[in-house]
A and B are shown apart, each in its own frame.
Chain A
């Protein structure tokens, strides 16, 4: 894959998050924190208006944008900060932009700035990835 600085990719990674999406991630990941599936617990334990999605669901969906773009085995690094919670009803769009291309031991690498935003354009996840290209 040939990538240059400034190349971008964007994908809607989930539309209208619902509680079934969230419990499916809970079951797959093993993270059964009640804040993510039990509305009364989210209110009484955390003071939240409702359950919200695992940060790792947002990161995983962001990772899907990257593997769909770059290939299933291309990533060398992937890191994010969780900047905002994802609530039932949210629709998320992930965007990647190549910020640098380098070479290490004969392997071409792309550094990619990553952001996932909700339907209001607010970032829920921000980070960076490094992928082997070419």
Chain B
């Protein structure tokens, strides 16, 4: 995904994302609220950029998405987790510049480190890191995300 893809930040998408987090702050939905105006318009919850998955052409955790051509490799998620034995181990964000509704972000990802270690109960654990940058229509870097996924040999004990 070296060339990246476009992620338009739509007001309805931000409202739905905030609602899924049971968040009723006006800054995430109401352009007329004084709190929102103080921030120069609607902003987004801290983990909102995760919803760029909807626009990621090769996103692997939406296997019923209609598409031309063959489906992407199953489990190739941008979130770090995966289908089956894959799990999301860590997620880190750095916020450089505000994101507002109406922005069009360009999303680029690159693989980071890979390592393995022995799990306590789940056998060998394979970790892999992915780094994603979100730049707005002016080329300004808004968010850097670092996601770490882990593949286990056996189901995780509860």
Binding site for B on A (CB under 8 A): 13-14, 21, 24-25, 27-35, 45-49, 54-57, 59-61, 63-64, 66-68, 72-73, 75-82, 85
Does B9 count as interface, using CB distance less than 8 angstroms? no
- Within 8 Å by CB of B92, from A48, A60, A78, A85, lies A78
Question: What's the Cα separation between A34 and B13 when bound, in Å?
Answer: 22
Evaluate contact between A56 and B91: CB separation under 8 angstroms. Answer: yes
The smallest C-beta distance from A105 to any residue of chain B, in angstroms, reads 13
Evaluate contact between A63 and B46: CB separation under 8 angstroms. Answer: yes
The 6 closest A-B pairs by CB, nearest first: A79-B92, A47-B155, A30-B53, A72-B27, A63-B46, A28-B20
Evaluate contact between B64 and A32: CB separation under 8 angstroms. Answer: yes
- Within 8 Å by CB of A64, from B16, B21, B64, B95, lies B21
Question: What's the Cα separation between A27 and B64 when bound, in Å?
Answer: 13
Residues of chain A lying within 8 A (CB to CB) of residue B50:
29-31, 56, 60
- Within 8 Å by CB of B19, from A13, A28, A76, A81, lies A28
The smallest C-beta distance from A93 to any residue of chain B, in angstroms, reads 14
Q: List 15 A-B contacts (CB under 8 A).
A: A24-B20, A27-B20, A28-B17, A28-B19, A31-B62, A35-B81, A46-B155, A54-B88, A56-B91, A60-B45, A63-B46, A75-B93, A79-B90, A79-B91, A82-B88
Residues of chain B lying within 8 A (CB to CB) of residue A64:
21-23, 45
The smallest C-beta distance from B92 to any residue of chain A, in angstroms, reads 3
Residues of chain B lying within 8 A (CB to CB) of residue A57:
20-21
The smallest C-beta distance from B141 to any residue of chain A, in angstroms, reads 13
Question: What's the Cα separation between A18 and B90 when bound, in Å?
Answer: 23
Task: Give the nearest-CB partner of A83 in chain B.
Answer: B89
Does B123 count as interface, using CB distance less than 8 angstroms? no
Taking CB atoms and an 8 Å cut-off, the chain B residues in 2-38 that contact chain A are 13, 16-17, 19-23, 25, 27-28, 35
- Within 8 Å by CB of A29, from B28, B46, B53, lies B53
Does B140 count as interface, using CB distance less than 8 angstroms? no
Question: What's the Cα separation between A125 and B2 when bound, in Å?
Answer: 31
